[in-house]
Amino acid sequence: MWTSKMTRRQGLRALAGAAAGLAAAGCTQQPAPQPGRPAMPGEPVELEFWAWVPGMDEVVATWNRQRPDIQVHYVEVPAGADGAYPKLYAALEAGAVPDLVQIEFMELPNAVLHGGLVDLAPLGVGEHRHQFVDWTYEQVSFGGGVYAVPQASGPVATYYRKDLFDEWGLTPPATWEEFERVAERVREHDAYLTTFPTNNAEVLSALCWQAGSIWFGADERQWVVDVDNPATHRVTAFWQRLIDRDLVDTIPNSGNAFYKSVQDGRIVSLLGAHWHAEVLEGNAENTAGKWAVARMPQWDAAGPVRTTNLGGSATSVVRGSRFPSQALEFALWLNTDPATVSDLVVKGMGFPALADLSHVAAMDEAFGFFGGQRINDVFRESSESVDNSWKWLPTTNQALEHINAELQGMAAGGRSLREIAVDAEARIIRDLEKKGLPHRS
């Protein structure tokens, strides 16, 4: 573990400079981080890596056997906002940090804002851009800076109860128009096609992302917020109609009530990410073999396939590492070596950000829970069909909290989905203003 100190103001400048051209911010761009000194011949390189993927310790052990010159000490940390990130920000404040950290796409801009991550562009990470699905590389890139190596994503598809669909003479809907008709048919059997979770703003954002509503982005000078737009209105009007007609449930898409409804056949499909496969298998055991996966519905049946994403993470080098070049070498191995990526997929990493999956053995798996289907074929197409212009904001957590609060109120008779979206844009802009970040809407 090595030491590093950086002020929040410097972090603001780094992020604003990378994603938003500092002329608009009225300050000067921070110099690119200087790589640490090369290791002397024979000098052991020791790195510390924080992550939460199950079984990551075994993967790190494989690296350590292969690379006695660069040894990695693995520290398992809890995932997300209640674990890894407070620990990371506390370490940055204390000046004692790991060399590498797993970080979600949504959190990455905030970590850069804290001045916590090394820009990998000067270290040559751009030479490996072709190895990753384009939109995942965009998730870790701001302006000319690259702040992580993409690891995994959450491309979305339709999970559905094939046994019940077959029994009721239904096929998975190919378009959203068909989705509404299928939802009507499913209600005839006292069941719901799916749930619109009124506790999960990320689901609403993903549905809008697929429809071409790019809520968040960045141009050369500033952050861009565009929640209140025609594509969002189309999505919110559609789901509001389904809710008002009682064609979809509105319970959370996780937790005991949801999984009981899934096991009882009261909810018969789920718009879910790749990682939902493992969640379903672990929480609906008595439905094994009865599920299948299909492409998510499309707004334009004749146009190019458009999908969306829920989740995703990357591997960042933390500012202050003595050996950032060696840390990057490990991060690239972790996320591009076919055998390693395959092992991580099996352990539950998520869908690989790697572009060429032809040598990743786990991609060919036939899943017994899904009736022997090779579901990764569906998710591969989904991963390749995500719009790459979406950029999470450094205030993403606050943005989603605003929307979540309103969604929960909607469930109790509050405002409509469209009203929630209109209000969210103003609140998100205020959050950016409080942090002094340049923006437009």
Confidence (pLDDT) at 10:
43
State residue 257's pLDDT score.
Answer: 94
Nearest to 327 by CA among 99, 74, 7, 26: 99
Mean pLDDT score, 36-47: 74
Q: Where are the domains of the chain?
A: 2-153+310-361, 154-308+390-440
pLDDT, tens digit, 9 for 90 and up, residues 366-421: 999 999 999 999 999 999 999 999 999 999 999 999 999 999 888 677 789 999 99
What is the residue-wise DSSP string for 122-183?
GGTGGGGGGGB-HHHHHHTEETTEE--EEEEEEEEEEEEEHHHHHHTT----SBHHHHHHHH
Give the span between the Cα atoms of 106 and 209, in whole angstroms: 14
CATH superfamily of 154-308+390-440: Periplasmic binding protein-like II (3.40.190.10)
Interval 184-241: pLDDT, tens: 999 999 999 999 999 899 999 999 999 999 999 988 788 999 999 999 999 999 999 9
Q: Are 2-153+310-361 and 154-308+390-440 equal in CATH topology?
A: yes
User: Helix, strand, or coil here: 73?
Assistant: strand
Q: What is the pLDDT of residues 150-190, one digit of tens each?
A: 999 999 999 999 999 999 999 999 999 999 999 999 999 99
Distance (Å) of CA 169 to CA 164, 172, 182, 378: 8, 10, 10, 22
Say which CATH class 2-153+310-361 falls into. Answer: alpha beta
Tokens describing residue 404: 């979540």
pLDDT at 300: 96
C-alpha dihedral sign at 54, 347, 291, 378: positive
Grade residue 127 by pLDDT with cuts at 50, 70 and 90. Answer: very high
Taking 90 as the threshold, does the pLDDT of residue 24 lie above it? no
End-to-end, the C-alpha distance of the chain in Å comes to 41
Both structure tokens of 297: 């519905």
Residues 9, 114: contact at Cβ < 8 Å?
no
Backbone phi, psi, residue 263, to 5°:
-70, -30
Please, is 252 exposed, middle or buried when counting C-beta atoms within 10 Å of its C-beta (0-12, 13-18, 19+)?
middle
Kindly report, residue by residue over 295-319, the tens digit of the pLDDT.
Answer: 999 999 999 999 999 999 999 999 9
